[in-house]
Amino acid sequence: MRPKIIAGNWKMNLSEKEAIALASGLKEKSSSLPDNKKAVVFPSSIHLASVARILENSKISVGAQNIYPAPLTAMTGETGPDQLSELGIKFALVGHSERRQFLGETSLFCNQKISYLAKHGFTAVYCVGETLAERESGKTFEVLKKQIQEGLGSIESDQFSRIWVAYEPVWAIGTGKVATPAQAQEAHAFIRKEISGLFQNGKTISDAMPILYGGSVKADNVKELLSQADIDGGLVGGASQKLESFLALF
């Protein structure tokens, strides 16, 4: 039985005061969250230390929005797993569409990140998804297949217990547009099948892997989305940045 997961991506939002207030509110309410759902928040890097301290020993985990796959080294502007481990952080997003679109992050580089994270005890949340032009031209599954094969193809099978996938159609992120439950389920089922084909025992791996949906997830659509057979949670943007709207997702 795969867990149900609500993950909040705060992106480059919230001041330090706002991030502390939100984390404090979440800490106060965390004991009332259902035991059958996992909760993770991904603050911007400048707020990670503050948020991690507040949410320590709560039911809400904290993750980084980005990570560089190396030990402490001369890499200006990046954050490494060793630094995050000091804060008790063991989750990281990999390959979010905004980093792919605007910062040139490739699936092959994501592969390096995922492998490094899994080997060092982190859970990597690997983001995949197609643009509107790719969907309208019938290339959705071609794009997803390439992203899965390049991003996960050389990962060792025993590392997959430390990997989640997030399907985020680029055309639905921050636009208010949401894939229908049927569209989202179709994509999730395809992703799970592609993962199962990576290894001889791949079905066992893919059946156990959480796959989240991201793209304008809100309280009024989350229940129907999560009722689909292959959708195990949501990677939520805007609705995760206010206490009431985030709690309403549970």
* Residue from 96, 98, 134, 188 carrying the catalytic annotation: 96
CA–CA distances in Å: residue 17 to residues 7, 20, 129? 21, 5, 33
96 belongs to the catalytic site: yes
| φ/ψ of residue 173, rounded to 5 | -85, 115
Closest CA to 196 of 152, 239, 235: 152
The Cα 230–Cα 220 span in angstroms is 19
Catalytic residue among 98, 130, 134, 168: 168
Q: Are the beta carbons of 237 and 11 closer than 8 angstroms?
A: yes
168 counts as catalytic: yes
Q: Are strands 211-214 and 91-94 parallel, antiparallel or unpaired?
A: unpaired
Q: Beta 91-94 vs 123-128: how paired, if at all?
A: parallel
**Roughly what angle, to the nearest 10 degrees, separates helices 48-55 and 16-29?**
20
Catalytic residue set: 96, 168
